[in-house]
Amino acid sequence: MTIDDKNPEKIPAGAEMFFPLFINMSGRKVLVIGGGSVAERRIHSLAGCGAEIIVITPAAGENVTRAALAGMIQLIKRKYNAGDIGAFMPFIVIAASDDRQINHNVMLESRKLNIPVSVADCRGECTCCFPAIVESGDYIAALVSKNGDHSGVRETAQKMREFLDL
């Protein structure tokens, strides 16, 4: 949508429009459900921004375990239970388990509590998107796809990294 009265663009009914926004995450609580490779990437990015990270997963990957042992994150080794989000009341929730039903339940609880949630395996359930991050020197960029094309985002982010490394 534009503010140009002569040629306004209409947002289709039911379409979700995400606004790119950078937020200071220092000291903000993030609850991550899952401990596999997707969760590891999200945790790595969030830890670099100073977030307070709590991970709930029955099986943590090597990097998640190492981060917990180093005191960088709080690791709770068990499955997600209904009520976990309400108990921790995080600023944001990342649903990145390998179980579709668990991710869906995490989304439902997050939405009920009006807490932004990124659902790794279902963009349609997200209230916020986790971007590909490109950093170089004094600059940082974040990239998401308008249509959920993850491979296109990965390729474009790599091209941006190569360009910035010139």
Under-70 pLDDT residues of the chain: 1-16, 166
Please state, as a whole number, how many other Cβ atoms lie within 10 Å of the Cβ of residue 99: 16
Give the span between the Cα atoms of 140 and 133, in whole angstroms: 7
Residue 18 pLDDT: 79
Q: What is the mean pLDDT of the chain?
A: 88
Residue 19 pLDDT: 82
Residue 117 tokens read as 């949630």
Residue 6 pLDDT: 56
pLDDT in tens, 120-162: 999 889 999 888 888 888 888 888 887 777 788 889 889 988 8
Using alpha carbons, select from 12, 11, 8, 18 the residue that is nearest to residue 145. 18
Residue 1 pLDDT: 46
The verdict on pTM exceeding 0.75 is yes
* Sign of the torsion angle spanned by Cα atoms 145, 100, 29, 41: negative
Give the span between the Cα atoms of 156 and 132, in whole angstroms: 9
Residue 54 tokens read as 């709590």
